[in-house]
Amino acid sequence: MPTVTATDRLKVLFAGICSLILTLGIARFAYTPLLPVLQSQTGLNDADAGNLAAINYLGYLAGVLLASTTTSLARKDMYYRVGMVLGVVSTAAMALTDQFLWWSLFRFIQGLAATSGLIIGSGLILHWLLHNRQKSAMGIHFIGMGAGIAVSAMMAMLLGDSHWQLQWLIYAALATVLAIPALAWLPKPDFSGTKPSPVAETGAPNKLWMLLLVTSYGCAGVGYVISATFMVTIVERIPALAGDGNMIWLIVGLTAAPSVIIWERIADRIGTLHALMLAYGLQLISVMLPVWLPTSIGLLGSALLWGGTFIGIVALVLMMVGKLYPSKPATLMGRLTLSFSVAQIAAPAAAGYLAQQQGNYNASLYMAACAMVVGALLLLAMQLTSPKALASV
């Protein structure tokens, strides 16, 4: 096996971070800070704004299902590289029309691209780290999610009220720059060398426990996606905070960047399931703060708590699955991803409809908060039904 240097490791991790900024920060999440501009300059209404978000998540779900159809690393590498290109092209294409049907197609493709960065790219990087006997550094890799949000916020702050078409094109130009290291510095999968020793599968304690986890994760999807889609718009519609939306979005990204590393340490101390309960509780507070305290302090608190928990919840669930199914995590992850994705498709459409009817997002935030309460209760039920499971997760 060729010697792997520290520079090689850093280049691979940087490729992964760039892929996440491209596919999530730009192709997926640039829509959030751009939404107020799109609505003011193109007349996009709240209902259609929610529908575009739902279609994006539908594309993400389609990408997950596509990725699950193969175990071939070579094919996944191809999907990853095609996804980087699709992320750039679909972002540029958003500037070419203001027709809802075309935007729907491009947002769907952007959702597909997000899968290539988060699901496929993360898997390829983990494979590289393990294959080359490098210490797993997935917490560093996932910094790209928060960094992507921060980049989209800083771009929106720089561009201000510039024409919406120009903004999409500038985002596409940045995506093109990011695609270069994302493609060049992630090596093709290497199938040589010694395979790792087989690891015994612990498995979920029972079918009820697994059902509770899958359903709870779906509730987290509802709690996550409302803020992910509409946070900047919610801030901009509070008169005293108009103009602060992108700053709030920047704070979300900066808080999210190190959150996985922090939650990994919390889980080591109190257990993964207990850490997950704590994260659900904090995200519940973050969702309701804009309603309870629609001031700069309330929105700042919401941004800090939401940014600090939403990626952490995903990471903690992945950690739990990894402990239950160390050699074949896809056994449970497929069901979890399906539950989370369906929630992300339905919730934005419902939130957009409610906002269109009521003129604000308060009802949508209450819906998200209720979902988080249910999700937390389901986690508690997991503990009560299988207390011995806490020893393994």
Summarised one tens digit per residue, pLDDT across range 361-372 is 888 899 999 999
- Confidence at 198, pLDDT banded by 50, 70, 90: low
End-to-end CA distance of the chain: 34
Taking residues 155-166, report their average pLDDT: 94
Fold of 201-393: Growth Hormone; Chain: A; (1.20.1250)
Mean pLDDT of the residues in the chain = 86
Please state, for a pLDDT cut of 90, what percent of the chain lies above it. Answer: 47
C-alpha 286/C-alpha 132 separation (Å) is 40
**DSSP character for 142?**
T
pLDDT, tens only, 92-127: 999 999 999 999 999 999 999 999 998 888 888 877
- Confidence at 359, pLDDT banded by 50, 70, 90: confident
Taking residues 87-96, report their average pLDDT: 97
* pTM as predicted: 0.84
Please state, for a pLDDT cut of 70, what percent of the chain lies above it. Answer: 89
DSSP 183-232: HHSSPPP---SPPPPP------S-HHHHHHHHHHHHHHHHHHHHHHHHHH
- Confidence at 271, pLDDT banded by 50, 70, 90: confident
What residues does each domain of the chain span? 1-188, 201-393
- Confidence at 178, pLDDT banded by 50, 70, 90: very high
Please tell me if the domain spanning 1-188 has the same topology as the one spanning 201-393: yes
Fold of 1-188: Growth Hormone; Chain: A; (1.20.1250)
- Confidence at 193, pLDDT banded by 50, 70, 90: low
- Confidence at 356, pLDDT banded by 50, 70, 90: confident
pLDDT, tens only, 3-22: 778 888 899 999 999 999 99
Tally of CB atoms within 10 A around 199: 10
Residue 319 has pLDDT above 80, yes or no: no
pLDDT of residue 12: 93
pLDDT of residue 332: 65
Taking residues 52-69, report their average pLDDT: 88
